[in-house]
Structure 1
Amino acid sequence: MSGFTFGLAILGALVLAAVVGWNAWSTRRLAPRQAALAERVEPGEAAAPAPEPLEPVFDDREEAPLSLPVPVPERKPGLDALIDAIAPIAIDAPVPGEAALAALPGTRRAGSKPFAIEGLNEATQQWETPQAGQRYTAFQAGVQLANRTGALNEIEFSEFVVKAQAFADAVNGAPEFPEMRHEVARARELDQFAGGHDAQLGFTLRARQAAWSPGYLHQHAARFGFVTGAIPGRMVLPAVQAGHPPLLVLAFDSQAAMAEDPEQTAIREATLSLDVPQVPRHEQPFARMRDAAMGLSASLDGVITDDNGREIRPEALDVVGADLELLYDTLESRDLAAGSPQARRLFG
């Protein structure tokens, strides 16, 4: 072999090695980032909390001693004249709870609106959902005036009347129904108010370069208190009060979460959302949302964008926070404070 041919062979080998090396580097650079082995998050588990990269937002409860009592589930809210059309049902003699339960309709809705029957407990003198072993001296039937499906209409009100009358007949009661046109008008006004003050905020976290694996995303989100939700591809920041909706939701591609080998799937974006009327103001949900968005975007090498892919700067987040304070004030002036039982029902 001549020296010239030998030199070409060496040059070709070097070029081939360079190409192979470049392809390997590119593949590794673009592969989904993996969770650290010491902190890898398995499906259904949350990583152990680590120090948060940003200064956390505390409320008064977080200053309490570490031995906090176990949260007690909130009592299910009853009918409320503010958001329900209510029909009192008078009875001549106390009715056992078993009889009341047997008389309840098969469904608890009138159209798309929640329907409920409550009894006045003879012993406690409190309104409650009928229970076996109790006796009731009066009843009331109610239907919600509005929710996110719209206002109560005439057909739904008529269905409410039919169901309430059937229950009253079964317990030998006499119902007194409110005037339909008045209640439908109230429903429309309440729905109009709700439509103008319903805020559901969402930020999108997008990867700048390398995508994320589900475990990598879980690992970083766990540092901000997020835990795996019941739905694949969903993590939540739990509420302090048991039974309440989560403070925040972090969602990503559910197909990636359910993949046969999720760690080899690529996630390029995740959505951080806050349902404003569902979360109490004192929980400082927007401050936590802002800090989580900024912290996650930094640790994941991502960027915060709106639904149209435009980057959201930190100063813009502060403006949103100021606008929310005005919304909170308006809701409270209507006795529909964010996170209250009435607001959670109306905006549900």
Structure 2
Amino acid sequence: MDIFTNMSDLQLSLIIIGAIIIAGVAIFNWIQQQRYQRRVQAAFEYKHDDVLLDADSDDSISERIEPVFNKSSLHESDAYHSHAQDIRKNAPISPTPSTAPSNTATSNSAMPTSVLLDYDNATNYIVNIRSDSPIANTYIAKLLQRKFDFGKTVAWLGQRNSDEPWEEITNEANIESDGYRHIKGCLQLADRAGAISEVNLSKFRDLVEEFASQIQATAECPDIVSTHEKAVTLDKFCVDVDVMIGINIISKDDGAFVGTKIRALAEASGFKLDADGVFKYRDDNNHVLFTLSNYESSPFLPENMRSLNTHGVTFLLDVPRVAHGERIFDQMTHLAKIFSNTLGGIIVDDNRVPLSESGLQRSKQQLIDIQSAMKRNHIHAGSASALRLFV
């Protein structure tokens, strides 16, 4: 039986009116979305330098600054850190520490020719195990099972024969291989949780020596005491440069920004909203360059964006994890100005004081100063080594 034959004229009219309303809302939302996208696309006539392909550009490597502005000198550490969002702890910036370690880590501006270039003695405790015959997979599997027993990241590298390249030993690679004759164990000396303990260094050394004894191989393990001292020094240097740089945009006259408008503008600008409630701007390799978060405490959750109102947003750049940070800062600043103009807000420092162009330039100079310190100590921002240290 046709259901419509049993409906009154009133019911049919209500159904038709409801369908028209739903279609009207959908069309209105589509028009709004297109308007925001056209506005952002027009603003993006500004041309960015390609931070990944511009090989002739300045070779300065980025490091990490916190959201602090209008500070006249990097050495004014108390003022510099007074409004910082420090991931580790508040610590004075020391661009040229005399005790800072020296290593041979490479920049991520070029692909390494060997996995060995991703690991160095200044940021890792590296042991060598050499065998005259291939080491059985079952023995290596036992080593891999202990990767998480020492409080820091452990990587095992293997060489099947002296004339073959090094490779990282994973469970899959171990199963597929015919065994490795030369193995390197790389235990990271520090991360954002601090330096590795002397106890864990000793446990790792004991594991390696016991393993070598079982398979009739030789083991070379550096001194524990001096390595721990190096770890403490490395951690101190990382604390000194482990900062973020940020830009706040707040509403005028105690107004509010609407969540749907923030999301439309962010997505049109290239951000993607992650499950943690933060918009992230990534490069072609899916590396996060900078983020956009709520100036207030509540995150940008997808299900809440329609009803959300906030008095501001914050751009943040995690400097040790981004190569060519000074150019990424320029890109982030450009986007911040677009957001400020489109949302009708103002760019301010952490004291809610309007941030001038000269203030932005001083913040960029602070970034460059810290970049130079990291580069002198051969820990290049955005490199594989930096991504492990600052995690």
For the superposition of Structure 1 and Structure 2, which TM-score range results when normalised by the shorter chain?
0.7 to 0.9
- Asked if residue 273 in structure 1 is aligned to residue 266 in structure 2, the reply is no
Task: Give the conservation status (yes or no) of the 8 Å contact 1:119–1:139.
Answer: yes
Residues 297-328 of structure 1, C-alpha deviations (whole Å, 9 max, x = no match): 12111122233333322210011112222222
In the TM superposition, 1:187-202 aligns within 5 A as: 187-202=231-246
- State the 4+ residue runs in structure 1 displaced beyond 6 angstroms: 46-49, 73-77
Decide which moves more: 201-210 or 123-132. Answer: 123-132
Q: For 2:367, which of 305, 321, 324 is the aligned residue?
A: 324
Paired position in structure 1 for 2:341: 298
Q: C-alpha distance in 1, partners of 2:312/2:291?
A: 14
* Cα distance change on mapping 1:256 and 1:321 into 2, 3 Å: closer
Q: C-alpha distance in 2, partners of 1:54/1:330?
A: 34
Residues 259-286 of structure 1, C-alpha deviations (whole Å, 9 max, x = no match): 7553122122222100111111178111
In the TM superposition, 1:247-286 aligns within 5 A as: 247-252=289-294, 257-258=300-301, 262-281=305-324, 284-286=327-329
- Asked if residue 339 in structure 1 is aligned to residue 339 in structure 2, the reply is no
AA matched with 1:307? D
AA matched with 2:157? E
Residues 153-204 of structure 1, C-alpha deviations (whole Å, 9 max, x = no match): 2122123224434544565433221111110111112112222222311222
- Asked if residue 55 in structure 1 is aligned to residue 100 in structure 2, the reply is no
- Asked if residue 236 in structure 1 is aligned to residue 280 in structure 2, the reply is yes
AA matched with 2:385? Q
* Structure with greater contact order relative to length (CA < 8 Å, sep ≥ 6): 2
SS at the partner of 2:347? strand
Paired position in structure 2 for 1:159: 203
Q: State the 1:107 CA deviation.
A: 4.7
AA matched with 2:122? L
SS at the partner of 1:50? helix
SS at the partner of 1:247? strand
AA matched with 2:267? A
Task: Give the conservation status (yes or no) of the 8 Å contact 1:118–1:128.
Answer: yes
Task: Give the conservation status (yes or no) of the 8 Å contact 1:78–1:128.
Answer: no
Residues 242-269 of structure 1, C-alpha deviations (whole Å, 9 max, x = no match): 4x3x001111268564475531221222
- Asked if residue 121 in structure 1 is aligned to residue 160 in structure 2, the reply is yes
Q: State the 1:36 CA deviation.
A: 5.7
Q: State the 1:220 CA deviation.
A: 1.5
- Asked if residue 226 in structure 1 is aligned to residue 217 in structure 2, the reply is no
Q: C-alpha distance in 1, partners of 2:366/2:215?
A: 51
Q: For 1:80, which of 102, 120, 134 is the aligned residue?
A: 120
* Cα distance change on mapping 1:227 and 1:127 into 2, 3 Å: same
Task: Give the conservation status (yes or no) of the 8 Å contact 1:207–1:302.
Answer: yes
AA matched with 2:240? G
Higher-Rg member (1/2): 1
Q: C-alpha distance in 1, partners of 2:176/2:318?
A: 39
Task: Give the conservation status (yes or no) of the 8 Å contact 1:103–1:167.
Answer: no
Q: State the 1:238 CA deviation.
A: 0.4
- Asked if residue 185 in structure 1 is aligned to residue 229 in structure 2, the reply is yes
Aligned identity (percent) is 23
Unaligned runs of 5+ in 1: 1-34, 65-72
Q: Give the paired residue count.
A: 299
Decide which moves more: 291-300 or 275-284. Answer: 275-284
Q: C-alpha distance in 2, partners of 1:156/1:346?
A: 17
Q: C-alpha distance in 2, partners of 1:175/1:312?
A: 58
AA matched with 1:148? R
SS at the partner of 1:90? strand
Task: Give the conservation status (yes or no) of the 8 Å contact 2:292–2:314.
Answer: yes
* Cα distance change on mapping 1:103 and 1:111 into 2, 3 Å: closer
Paired position in structure 1 for 2:176: 133
* Cα distance change on mapping 1:219 and 1:163 into 2, 3 Å: farther
Task: Give the conservation status (yes or no) of the 8 Å contact 1:110–1:157.
Answer: no
Task: Give the conservation status (yes or no) of the 8 Å contact 1:115–1:160.
Answer: no
AA matched with 1:248? F
* Cα distance change on mapping 1:325 and 1:36 into 2, 3 Å: farther
Task: Give the conservation status (yes or no) of the 8 Å contact 1:204–1:269.
Answer: yes
Q: C-alpha distance in 2, partners of 1:249/1:296?
A: 13
Cα RMSD between the aligned structures? 3.3
Q: State the 1:125 CA deviation.
A: 2.2
SS at the partner of 2:331? helix
